[in-house]
Structure 1
């Protein structure tokens, strides 16, 4: 009997419950319930694209924020402090402020969703963030034209508080090119007209000084030793209305693409994984985000932050892999 739908089976990941998705033609993904964290995506049996956690200790410590679901904020918050609707709030530690949200230690639960994996959890109000959110993360596998395989993710954050709440969301996957030991020989293309300038804390500069115009697309034909840890905005959609950031192995034509909706995620952050405790510069993070870092403290992001009671903020992103042209 031939299977035509993605199968989803429970697995143990060093004491953590995880779920294995396997599509009919072979690609698979592994997602831990802790933090709704993508641990692996294999578009084919011999190709691993995700530079994820290798054991339960790394997952528990959420080192390097690998594949972190970023909510209720994405990116850093300056000094761990922000104001909203006239009240000041202090995040409990600068470390949390730098991680991009509070989801890493949440335990998610699977909810049936056909051949997609849907994980849900609740972020309860705390001193760091005094609002309640319901968070849903959906993973799905799809084949495609032109030899691409796809992994899609949707994040939904619903405000279940009685008052409006500040919310920005994003995703932090580390991507490695199969058959390559590092990123130096890769090329990178970012369809953006502006980059975000930051201080030495990686906090965007104040006001208009934070934005510098660039020619679109921003091309890096050879990454070499170039270090990037920067947000890009004023994204340029293609003819299909979506924004596609690409990483390519020029020697073979192998590609990894990140596709995002500009209305949901007008920012892509790129990080060349420099100085990590493990696998420094072995992978590259392409991060779709609903706002720039420190958005809770910026007037130019104010329209993107409030989420009324009962409303949902969503972000959908797709990773695509093609082994060769």
Structure 2
């Protein structure tokens, strides 16, 4: 019997364990269950245990044989694509390996498909670490940590990046969760995004074609809840609106008002929203990914919101997922 907790209607046991494939770490607490993979430090599944039955909030899709691409994984040391794999930093030319020839880009960094090393795993918390060493076109050394912990408000994912090299380094990070409002089909959901601007994207290449534009009065305005029926998105949003507690909140809800809330901090100043098929085999499912990120696609060429880490410098940030509309 499978030990996964991907969105599916049979309530199976979820004690993930090492097997022939990657190890997936299960954590439980405060009415939530999550599964975090050693590959990409990815959130493979997050479920709220409502008395009426398990309520999926995030995951890699219902079919483990055809998992959604990049599902839940860490995208670093840059999110999105780098145009033609080419950029200059501090006057030095860099040529990365073009990992997506169809789009002509180096996509999502080096760690989304690599195994991370376990630091600790307790009932409600798992911490992993990975080192980014010297790569083609990347002469910088970084140490990343990813910590996933369940608490009163759901899952909190925290990250650090430390420059362990001798030179200052460019850096960006994103995370690629696919979100669910339980078992409600995406077309029956509403979406609210606390975002004031967006960057136009070439859909063929997934790269920016212009600078940020206001969303008010356009098809990209989700500042009030909007039905997702037929909506297609492949958009980096910015100008994210903080609440009084300096937390940014986005919501995907079903017709009954219940759903999932993504919470981020100002360090994640961008949010990619995509409804493009996420199936690794190009399958037709419509799924919504809301991707907290520190910078837009092709940031290393655009020069927008690129972090520069000095030797020994540590960057940290976090985001969270939890239910809304429940009596919790």
Q: Please report the TM-score for the alignment, with normalisation by the length of structure 1.
A: 0.84
Q: What corresponds to 2:200 in structure 1?
A: 197
Say whether the 8 Å CA contact 1:116–1:140 is kept in structure 2: yes
Q: Does 1:30 align with 2:35?
A: yes
Structure 1 residues 87 and 17: CA distance shift in structure 2, 3 A: same
C-alpha offsets along residues 240-292 of structure 1, whole Å, 9 cap, x if unaligned?
Answer: 1111111111x211121111111x11111111133744664442101110011
The answer on 1:321 being equivalent to 2:327 is: no
The structure that is helix-richer by fraction is 1
Distance 2:304 2:157 in 1: 27
Residue 143 (structure 1) aligned to one of 148, 152, 166: 152
Checking the alignment, whether the CA contact within 8 Å between 1:187 and 1:219 is kept in structure 2 is no
Query: How big is the shift at 1:315?
Result: 2.4
Task: Tell me whether 1:66 sits opposite 2:74 in the alignment.
Answer: no
Q: State the Cα distance separating 1:37 from its structure 2 match.
A: 1.5
Distance in structure 2 (CA, Å) of the matches to 1:300 and 1:31:
31
Cα deviation, 1:28-76, whole Å, max 9, x if unaligned, reads 11111122121111111622222316788767xxx61111201100111
Match of 1:5 in 2: none
Distance (whole Å) between structure 1 residues aligned to residue 222 and residue 75 of structure 2: 26
Counterpart in the other structure of 1:76: 81
Between the aligned partners of 2:134 and 2:106, the Cα distance in structure 1 is: 19
> Comparing 209-218 with 272-281, which one deviates more in the overlay?
272-281
Q: Tell me, yes or no, if structure 1 residue 167 matches structure 2 residue 171.
A: yes
1:184 counterpart SS class:
helix
Q: State the number of aligned residues.
A: 301
User: Which residue in 1 is equivalent to 2:4?
Assistant: none
CA distance in 2, matches of 1:220, 1:231: 18
Matches within 5 A, 1:205-224: 205=209, 209-215=210-216, 218-219=223-224, 221-224=226-229
CA distance in 2, matches of 1:161, 1:58: 38
1:256 and 2:255 correspond: no
**Counterpart residue number, 1:147:** none
Q: CA deviation at 1:94?
A: 3.6
Structure 1, residues 193-220: CA drift from partner, whole Å, max 9, x if none? 1111123422112xxx421112375345
305 and 54 in structure 1: CA distance in 2 versus 1, 3 angstrom threshold: same
Contiguous gaps of at least 5 residues in structure 1: 1-7, 145-149
| TM-score, length of structure 2 as denominator length | 0.83
Does the aligned pair in 1 maintain the 2:75–2:111 contact within 8 Å? Answer: yes
Unaligned runs of 5+ in 2: 1-13
- How far apart in 2 are the matches of 1:56 and 1:81? 34
Deviates more, 1:76-85 or 1:87-96: 87-96
Contact 2:25 2:121 in 1 (8 A): no
Match among 275, 296, 307 for residue 292 of structure 1: 296
User: SS of 1:297's equivalent?
Assistant: helix
Q: Is the 8 A contact 2:148 2:157 kept in 1?
A: yes
Q: Contact 2:82 / 2:300 at 8 angstroms: preserved in 1?
A: yes
* Aligned counterpart, 1:48: 56
